[in-house]
Every structure is written in C-alpha cells, then in structure tokens.
Structure 1
Amino acid sequence: MPSLLAGALYLIHTPKGHTVSPTTPSTQPLHRRRLWSLAATATVAAMLLAGCAQADPAPSDDTPTAGGTLTYGRLASANDLDLHTQITANNAFAIDKIFESLVSFDESGQIIDWLAESHEISDDGLVYSFTLREGLKYSDGTDLQAADVKFSLERNIEKQGPIMLTAPIASIETDEEARTVVITLAEPYTPFLSELTGFAAGVLPSDFGGKSEEEFFQSPIGTGPWVVSEWDPSGDLTFVKNEHYWQEGKPLLDSLVYTFIADDNQLLQRLSAGQIDAIETVPAANAAEVDSNEATTLISGDSWAIEQIFFNTQKPEFADVHVRRAIAHALDLEGITQATTFGTARAATSLIPPSIAYSAADAGFELGYDVDAAKQELAESGYPDGFTATLLIASGNASRAQIAQIVQESLAQIGITIEIESIDLAAFRERFRAFDYDFMLNSGQSDSPDPNGLVTFQADPEGFSNSYWTHYTNDEVTALMHEGRTTPDGPEREQIYLDIQRILAEEVPYIPVYYSSTLHGTTSKVHGLEGLPNASIRFQDAWIEE
C-alpha cells in the first residue's frame, strides 16, 4: 500500500527489475554514486541526470563508534503511531522504527527475510510458511510469540485502514514450538509477499500486552531497533535504543531524535551549520551544494515516488477527459523537471516508476508536450473558451511552488486561468481528503515493491483513497487491477500493468511529472545510514564520529 510523503501520501505496495524474482534477496549492494557538480542551466542539469546517485559509503578503515545521539530533521512531526491506521510518511517512518514485519526489502528493493529467518511458498501460490528467528523479543524484554503475528495481521484486516492487507487470507495457523506462521490464501495473490514488507504488516504483542489500544500506542512496544522515550505529537520524538534488539550489537547509537522543522530551507540551514546531524529531505536545488560541501554528505538513490498533478474529477471541468488531456499536452514535463530538480530526477512518462517492475516508463504512452494538440483537445471539450481553476499546494516546499508557477504560465497559453492556493501541510491534507480542491500537486509513493500497490492506491474507486482522492473510475482498469493480483509474475502479468498504464496515460486522471530520487543529507561525521527506495532510512547501523 502507498504512503503519503511530506506533502504527499506514503503509499502502498514489487521487484526491482523484470528479470528478478520478488522473493530473491539482493546479493549485491546498491551501487553508490556521487552527484556531479551541476551547472546553472537547465540543459546541463538534464545531462547530469545520470550522475545523480548515492553518496560513497564511509571508508572501510573507519571504525564505527557506539553511543551518542543523532538528531534528524523532518518537515512534519509524527502525531500517531498506530501502524494500522496511518499512511502519511511523517508517521510511517516513525512507526517502522518501532514495529517490524516478517519480511522487508533492502536498498535495491529486493524482498528479504526479516523477523522470519526463512519462508516458503507452495507451488500453487496458496500457502505461505514463515519460520521466525529464534529468541525474538520486544523492547520490554518479553518474548515474541507466533500468535502475535496472527493477532497483528488480523488486526490489520479488522481495522480496514489505509494500508490494509488485501490478500484473500483464508487462515493463519501458528506453532509456538516450531516458531512457524502458516498463512493460507483462498486464491493466489501475487503481491502478498510484497504487502507483508510494509510497516502496516508489523508485529505487536497480542492484546496490546494487556493494555488498552489507546494506552499501548502512547508508548508502543515492538521488535524494532528503537523505543519511544519522549514524544510531542506536534513536535519532536525521541527514541532510545532497544536493548533487546535481535540484530546483535545494534543499534549503535544510544538515541535518535526526530526534530520537527517545518521548512525545507531551514532544514538545510541547520544541517549546514551542524545544528542537526541529518535531514530527511534535501531540496533538489541544494543537492549539489550538500554533495560538494566537505562538512555535509548527500545520500541519494532511486525511489518509488512520483511527483504528480492530481485532478478532482468531481469538478465538472476535470470530469471532462478532453480538459485533462489538454492540460497534459500543455505541460513541458522535461522542462519542468530540469527547472525544478536540477538533474536529480527523471521526467515521468507513466504511473509506475522504472524502479518498480512492469513500469511503462519507456513504452511511449505519454501524451507529450504539444501546445497545438492541447488547444485542439480543449476545443473538443465542454470548455472550449477555457475556465478558471485553483491549484492547491502545500506551503514550505520551494520546488512545488515553482512547479505551480510553471503550470500557471503554461495553461494560460491555452486559455485556462490558474490561481495558486498555498496552505500549510496539515490543512492541505484535510482539504484534498475531503475532495475540497480543483487540482493539486502531491506525491505518489509506493511503500512496497510490487506495482499493485500504486495501481490500487491510485486507480481503485472502492479503495481507501478513492483513486488517490481523484474519484476516477474506469471499469477496464478495475478489472485489470484484479487480474494483475492473481496472475503469476511473468510476461502475462507485465502486459496487464502495461495496459493499465496505457489507459491511465490516455485518460489522465493525474499527470506523473517526474520520478523523484531520495535525497537525504547528513553532516560528514555521520556514517552507516541505509536509504530505502520508499524514502525511509534505517538507523541501526548509523554512527557518529567522536
């Protein structure tokens, strides 16, 4: 299931490449690259896209130093730690430090065993058998039981939250002595293992360890490397190390502090001044600066995120497919990407990014920049003389503000007048979730490595988000979506997702603008951070030079 990023959603649920089995752990570390120095012009920025990459790891002769506190700057505070009711990244990337799942994924997006030391899938794709690691404990020192896994997964389904398991689970059987959890499906469901990698599939104690739900989630107990110490839901969150963590000797740090800083420029300023140790988001305009500064380090990599323009199809103008197609033709996505991401991103051409299997990024389905075609589409719409609409954005994001201005200028050329409304992040989320907007800038973000996640979140009219709050419905897409869930990985399943992306490109319920890179920043004294393609970071190997 996807998740909403800082201004967006932390989305939903596939393998890194078409030829790699989604159940095969990666045997190679994700290649770490360096951003080249970026020239000021957009042309040069585009040439530098291939140079956008991950920062070099700490030299091999550096000896990790245990202890200390790492202060991590974030654009939004964590205000709810219930893993089964949350979706936005501000909460998701705190929850995943506390709760862990049977399986997870590595830096390259390959599924790996986590709380389970091994797993098997029956030949008919119906039975998933997991063997838990020996000696697993919660942060309070109590033993994790196989029954806790059953309780947690059943609660996930019962809550019917934004990242609910959608696999047709027929039964969950446990054996404490054998440390096994056996999940049987009523029918094959190909994305199931991928769904189990998400933070919402995390394990918590049965019956909340004897506490009420409300009491438990004020100070939650999990198997993760971090334990909540102090928490202000409208401010900072302090973690301390889990002394009972199953990865021996980890985490290396004594504590981890999530500090709330509402503006990305302030994040950068405080990092550069050494007032904080790391930041969740480096503005694209400053990526080269962070990378070239001896006092800071850029950590960048491929992601499962897409910056997008979303249409509220309940609005008469945007219910008209010709209007949406006109807008898609009117926007120079290459130019927007170059101007706003400084070579750190790739212009989008499909819903599914190339870092996820079955992407149509190179299929040529996109409508393409063509002002004459845009005018022709608008002429064929119910609004040939244009109209006025409001573009909603979250404040505090310089890149989105710039995109909004470009959209405003571009649509003026075809007779559409755009007013930009910039509001704080909390209000922004309330507005679009209530369908109180015309169209908006936001991010789609898969939180697990299967294409079903993004498709479900952005094209399922009966899903939690109602097609990502666009109210878009297409019966053919819905049928293909269900077919893709039961079709085994391979050419037939690939064709299903290519067909879905083709239809979405033609009907344009949203416009993918660019495929984002993960851009995290640290001071040069920080080492061992592991960036993940869902934009989260693992801190258990992190350490700070004395």
Structure 2
Amino acid sequence: MMRFGSSLKKSAGLGLLTILLLGLVAGCGGGTKSAEQTPAAGESANSSANSTEPAKGGTFVYGRPAAVNSFDLHNQITANNAFAIDKVFESLVTFDSEGNIVDWLAESHKISEDGLTYTFVLRDGLKFSNGNAVTAEDAVFSLQRHLEVGGPLAISAKVDAVKAQDDRTLVITLKEPYTPFISELSNFSNGIIPKDFGGVSEEEFFKKPVGTGPFVVDNWDPAGDVTFVKNPHYWQEGKPYIDKLVYKLIQDDSQAINQLKAGEVNAIESLALQNANEIKQGPGTKVLTNGGWVTEQLFFNTLDEHFSDVHVRRALALAIDRAGLTNALTFGYAKPANSLLPTAIPYNANDTIQPLNFDVTAAKEELAKSAFPNGFSTKLLVASGNSTRAQEAQIIQAAGKEIGINIEIESIELATFRERFFAYDFSAMLNSGQADSPDANSIIAFQTDPEGFSKSYWTHYTNDEVTKLLHEGQKTPDGDGRAAVYSKLLQTLADEVPYIPLYYPDILKGVGSSVEGLTVLPNGSLRFEEVRIQK
C-alpha cells in the first residue's frame, strides 16, 4: 500500500507507497464500478457469498507478509500499517468496494456551492472502544493533529478552519476550492481519535490505541503478530461477527499458501498472480478479487543522461508489447494499461487516450531522432523476490535489445531498492503506483508534481503545462470540465512517457472456503465487519 501513490508528498495520493514499500504487486472513471471488473475464469467476486447462515464468533487468522510496527495514523503509509490502522480508527467518510464515497462516522455531509465549506453531522450515540462518547471536538483534534504533523498522507487542501459547531457537528472551511478533499478525507489517515489522546501521552496512546473501529488491539508484537478483539461499543450493532482477528506474520509466500491450504489461516493478503488459479481450484480454498487502484509501471529517471531524452523514452514505449506482456504474466487477472490511471478511478481516459502502441519500426525511427541513434547501454533496477517483476524485466530487456538498447537487469533486495530510488540512484526501475482514495488527483499529484514529496515519483519529471493542469484539476469541480483537464494531462504523459503504464492488476486474496462476508476494497484492504466462518 505504494499505496505507494500516497504524501510522503504533500499532494495527496500515496497509495503508491503502500504497495511499493512492501514490494507487493496487486491492481469512477465516469462511474466504472469494481463489480464490472469481471472475475477471471470464474473466481469469487469481491465479497464472499453468504449463502448459508454460519455461526457467529470464533477467530479469523489473516496471513500477512509484513508486521505492523506502528498505529500512528498520521505518520504511516505502507500497507503493513495502514491496513491495521483502518481496523482501529475510522474516518468521517469512507469508500465502498466499488470506490464510491459513503458517509461513515458522519451520518451526513454537505458541501457548499462554492466548494469552501464542508459540514459533517456525526452519528448519534457514537462511542470510542473505551465507551467514551465521540464528539465533534474529537474530530477537530484529530484533523488539526493531522494538519500539524503533515506526514506521508498530508492534508493537501488549504484549510482555513476546523471547528465544532456543537457536539455532533463539524465544520471545515477552506481558503480555496479543492475538489479531491472529500475523497481524501476517506483515507485511513483521517481517522478520528480522542481529543488530547484521551489524557495520555502520544507514545502511550499509539501503543494501546483507542478508536471507533470494529476491532481493538489486544496483543501486539511490532516484529510479529497482532491480535485484535471485537469492539464492544462498535456503532454498527451486532458487528463484527467474529470475536478475534489475528494478523499472522508469514513472510514466505509459499509458506502462506501452504498454511492456507492446511486451514492454519483463514486468508492470506499476498497472493501472487501466478498462484491464483492454484488457490481458486483448490478443494478448500478460493480467490476473492476486486478491480484495484494500482498501475504497474516502468519508471525513468529523467535526470539520467539517456532517459532525459524524450525520444529515448518514446522509443522504448513503442518497443514494448504491453498487451503481450500482460497476457503472458498476469493469467487473466490484469488489463493492459493505456493511461496512468486505473480504470476504477474517475477521469482515467483509458478508452480515449492515444498511447504509444507496440510498433518496433516506429520505435527504431523514434530512437533515430534521439541523441543516441545508435543505441546505448543502461540498467533496470528491480526489487528481488518478485517473480512477476523479474519476468517483466526480462521482457523489457528483450524489447530494448530489439531496437539497440542494451539493458542490464539489476536485481537487489527491497530495502536497498527503496534507498536507491529515493536517492535517484537508478536509470529505470519497475514499480507500481496506487491511489489511496478514489480521485484522479491521488495518483496524478504524486506522479507529476516536481515540487512534491516524491518529485514526480522519483522520476523528477517536470513539465510546466502538466503542473498547471495538475493544479487546475484540483480546483475544477467534478464534471466535463475536470474530465477535459485530466484528458489533456494524461495525453501529455502518454506522449512524453516519464513512466510507461504496463497493466492494471486486480487485487487478489487467497481465502478458505469456509469464509463468508469478507469484502475486498479497491485499495487492497479488507472489511472484516461481516466476516463469518462456516462451521
């Protein structure tokens, strides 16, 4: 979760880091719903069926590849933490499995016609997990703390004031319109915590956090497992149905699959595309899937002597058969990408954009226009341990060779890989970008703002017109005008290719056949409120 797209920058969209920093590979434009993301070859849809009435109670064990090491919602971004934080803390609004914004802790919200005033009315009777009432003052404290901390998912809107009108009414005023604001408020980082941390220190609070979520932290090993118990004061009456939720650390993918097959865990978070059919066809297992907010990409460091040349980037884009690569590597669980934005995100322009489609002759002609008409040698940085990425690299290597670009694949362990691209110590790299919320700005800002935290996702791509369109899109109300802004911006990215969108992978979860009521969200997280285990 990278869930990279997400402000280690101040421009909102770091979903990028949630997946990126864990090295995972996963996956409304005018209203495209994830239900329309047809499950591949008949696997289960995004919410497990509820055909019979299973017994309530019990313990659900979820295998995950990385431990939870912090519950500080304002200072975290990676999936290992984010998808635990969202079980304890909840926001005023959230998104459903189709990416639609829905009221959550707020029973209603209203946005003024000028886009400057946001009014939220909290649900009546809301309580924290310790039994204390939730008030608008708690929401004020939470959002102000986020504004002060900033953090990787900083609030990008220019906030003028956050005030409690009464115990249940919160009013946020902006200095200028910022259309993505309501969407960004659905991020886990905008969860509501007790005012003044409930009277304890920050350090003490986040060791034993108190929130409104369906679960409460019971036992926690920052280098191992987390055990949650159901929140007895949860506002959704009767939920969650299970008594306990265990996040079990399983760092080896093969071990995770074996434990799922053996029934030692009820589900696993990290399911590689190549293992999906095995789990789908297993006698005691199934696959839950959803269209995601992820785009797998080939990134160029535009500070590099070769990839600063737009003709070189265009040549390589033309040399890569994205459709062939997608078909070969994703087993029907992904779609070729034309646009930077996944099809589950509004204004993606995936059907109207004119990409640089596979054409070797045109690729050679484009390279001839560059400063390196006779080709050159370069390196492609890849995090080790990911077989899909390793195969991607080999396909790209072969495509480059076809037009005279000799690519050496440099495979290194994940921690060093992160250090290298954070330091711009690469020529090209394979990674994925992910949105944290269902708004185009979530990815676009992270990948096009040269002044943002990531400097255009560590490509340092700079185009004044793109930057202008970025800010215009943030202020333009939803509708045809905003669509036109993003269409022009995305076409420019397709023409100048500071990164090549390769494919949009689905989100896949391996699940035991006895599990019902589990919902896969498009950011890669899960909803466990309605989970039941068939006896």
Normalising by the smaller structure, the TM-score range is: over 0.9
Shift of 1:116: 0.2
Match of 2:66 in 1: 76
Match of 1:432 in 2: 421
Match of 2:341 in 1: 352
Match of 2:369 in 1: 380
Is the contact made by 2:29 and 2:348 (CA closer than 8 Å) also made in structure 1?
Answer: no
Q: Secondary structure at the match of 1:135?
A: coil
Matched, 1:219 2:208: yes
Matched, 1:506 2:495: yes
Shift of 1:106: 0.7
Q: Secondary structure at the match of 1:235?
A: coil
Match of 1:41 in 2: none
Letter in 2 for 1:469: W
Matched, 1:543 2:535: no
Note closer, same or farther for the CA distance 1:265–1:314 as it changes in structure 2 (3 Å cut). Answer: farther
Matched, 1:8 2:13: no
CA separation in 2, counterparts of 1:7 and 1:262? 15
RMSD in angstroms over aligned alpha carbons?
Answer: 2.1
Gaps of 5+ in 1: 11-15, 21-25, 37-50
**Out of 120, 141, 144, which is 1:151 matched to?**
141
Is the contact made by 2:16 and 2:443 (CA closer than 8 Å) also made in structure 1?
Answer: no
Note closer, same or farther for the CA distance 1:311–1:232 as it changes in structure 2 (3 Å cut). Answer: farther
Match of 1:326 in 2: 315
Shift of 1:336: 0.7
CA separation in 2, counterparts of 1:255 and 1:311? 45
Is the contact made by 2:295 and 2:432 (CA closer than 8 Å) also made in structure 1?
Answer: yes
Q: Secondary structure at the match of 2:293?
A: strand
Is the contact made by 1:32 and 1:53 (CA closer than 8 Å) also made in structure 2?
Answer: no
Shift of 1:497: 0.4
Shift of 1:32: 8.7
Is the contact made by 1:5 and 1:90 (CA closer than 8 Å) also made in structure 2?
Answer: no
Is the contact made by 1:161 and 1:464 (CA closer than 8 Å) also made in structure 2?
Answer: no
Match of 1:297 in 2: 286
Shift of 1:303: 1.0
Q: Secondary structure at the match of 1:97?
A: helix
Shift of 1:293: 2.2
Note closer, same or farther for the CA distance 1:450–1:475 as it changes in structure 2 (3 Å cut). Answer: same
Is the contact made by 1:139 and 1:227 (CA closer than 8 Å) also made in structure 2?
Answer: yes
**Out of 98, 103, 114, which is 1:124 matched to?**
114
**Out of 218, 222, 225, which is 1:236 matched to?**
225
Match of 1:309 in 2: 298
Note closer, same or farther for the CA distance 1:494–1:31 as it changes in structure 2 (3 Å cut). Answer: closer
CA separation in 1, counterparts of 2:43 and 2:308? 38
**1:209-249 deviations in Å (ceiling 9; x for gaps):** 22222222222221111222222333322222222211111
**Out of 32, 35, 39, which is 2:40 matched to?**
35
Letter in 1 for 2:479: G
Matched, 1:416 2:410: no
CA separation in 2, counterparts of 1:204 and 1:493? 34
Is the contact made by 2:230 and 2:242 (CA closer than 8 Å) also made in structure 1?
Answer: yes
**Out of 468, 488, 493, which is 2:482 matched to?**
493
Note closer, same or farther for the CA distance 1:232–1:318 as it changes in structure 2 (3 Å cut). Answer: farther
Note closer, same or farther for the CA distance 1:70–1:183 as it changes in structure 2 (3 Å cut). Answer: same
Letter in 1 for 2:20: A
CA separation in 2, counterparts of 1:374 and 1:191? 37
CA separation in 1, counterparts of 2:350 and 2:36? 21
CA separation in 1, counterparts of 2:483 and 2:463? 19
Is the contact made by 2:353 and 2:487 (CA closer than 8 Å) also made in structure 1?
Answer: no
Matched, 1:197 2:186: yes
Matched, 1:446 2:451: no
CA separation in 2, counterparts of 1:198 and 1:205? 18
Letter in 1 for 2:416: A
CA separation in 2, counterparts of 1:66 and 1:348? 42
Shift of 1:418: 2.0
**1:112-142 deviations in Å (ceiling 9; x for gaps):** 0000011111122221110001121222222
Note closer, same or farther for the CA distance 1:145–1:541 as it changes in structure 2 (3 Å cut). Answer: same
Q: Identify the range of structure 1 (505-514 vs 381-390) with the bigger mean alpha-carbon deviation.
A: 381-390
Match of 1:103 in 2: 93
Match of 1:44 in 2: none
Note closer, same or farther for the CA distance 1:480–1:308 as it changes in structure 2 (3 Å cut). Answer: same
Letter in 2 for 1:58: A
Shift of 1:382: 2.3
**Out of 389, 411, 434, which is 1:400 matched to?**
389
Shift of 1:19: 5.6
**1:181-230 deviations in Å (ceiling 9; x for gaps):** 01111222211110111111111122222222222222222111122222
TM-score, normalised to structure 1's length?
0.90
Match of 1:136 in 2: 126
CA separation in 2, counterparts of 1:322 and 1:3? 30
Shift of 1:55: 6.0
**Out of 27, 30, 33, which is 1:18 matched to?**
30
Q: Secondary structure at the match of 1:227?
A: strand
Letter in 2 for 1:120: K
Shift of 1:522: 0.4
Is the contact made by 1:391 and 1:418 (CA closer than 8 Å) also made in structure 2?
Answer: yes
Note closer, same or farther for the CA distance 1:500–1:272 as it changes in structure 2 (3 Å cut). Answer: same
CA separation in 2, counterparts of 1:427 and 1:92? 22
Q: Secondary structure at the match of 2:410?
A: strand
Letter in 1 for 2:460: H
Is the contact made by 1:52 and 1:343 (CA closer than 8 Å) also made in structure 2?
Answer: no
Q: Secondary structure at the match of 1:449?
A: coil
Shift of 1:30: 4.0
CA separation in 2, counterparts of 1:281 and 1:360? 29
CA separation in 2, counterparts of 1:526 and 1:54? 13
Q: Secondary structure at the match of 1:229?
A: strand
Q: Secondary structure at the match of 1:96?
A: helix
Is the contact made by 1:526 and 1:544 (CA closer than 8 Å) also made in structure 2?
Answer: yes
Is the contact made by 1:98 and 1:226 (CA closer than 8 Å) also made in structure 2?
Answer: yes
Match of 1:23 in 2: none
Q: Secondary structure at the match of 1:238?
A: strand
Gaps of 5+ in 2: 1-12, 23-27
TM-score, normalised to structure 2's length?
0.92
CA separation in 2, counterparts of 1:273 and 1:349? 40
**Out of 171, 179, 188, which is 1:182 matched to?**
171
Is the contact made by 1:2 and 1:448 (CA closer than 8 Å) also made in structure 2?
Answer: no
Q: Identify the range of structure 1 (190-199 vs 147-156) with the bigger mean alpha-carbon deviation.
A: 147-156
Matched, 1:524 2:506: no
**1:489-512 deviations in Å (ceiling 9; x for gaps):** 111110000011001111111111
CA separation in 2, counterparts of 1:380 and 1:30? 44
CA separation in 1, counterparts of 2:39 and 2:402? 39
Note closer, same or farther for the CA distance 1:257–1:437 as it changes in structure 2 (3 Å cut). Answer: farther
Share of identical aligned residues, percent?
55
Is the contact made by 2:47 and 2:517 (CA closer than 8 Å) also made in structure 1?
Answer: no
Matched, 1:343 2:332: yes
Match of 1:474 in 2: 463
Is the contact made by 1:33 and 1:55 (CA closer than 8 Å) also made in structure 2?
Answer: no
Residues paired across the two proteins, number: 519
Is the contact made by 1:55 and 1:297 (CA closer than 8 Å) also made in structure 2?
Answer: no
Is the contact made by 1:167 and 1:185 (CA closer than 8 Å) also made in structure 2?
Answer: yes
